[in-house]
Amino acid sequence: MYISNSNFTQVGLNNRMGQSVAIEIMCHRDASTDLVVVRVVDDVGARQLAKNIEYFAQQLLSLCESDPARLQIVEWREQESGANLWRWRFNWVADCPLDAKLTPVKAGHHKHVNGLLSSLAMAAA
Average pLDDT of every residue of the chain: 82
- Residues 6 or more apart whose CB falls under 8 angstroms from that of 121 comprise none
Note whether 53 and 40 are within 8 A (CB). no
- Provide, rounded to the nearest whole percent, the portion of the chain with pLDDT above 70: 78
Per-residue pLDDT of 38-75, as tens digits, reads 987 777 778 889 999 999 999 999 998 899 999 999 99
Specify the pLDDT at position 87.
92
Specify the pLDDT at position 59.
95
Q: How many CA atoms lie within 13 A of 124 on its CB side?
A: 9
Per-residue pLDDT of 73-120, as tens digits, reads 999 887 777 667 889 999 999 999 999 999 988 766 556 566 665 665
DSSP single-letter state for residue 110: -
DSSP single-letter state for residue 109: G
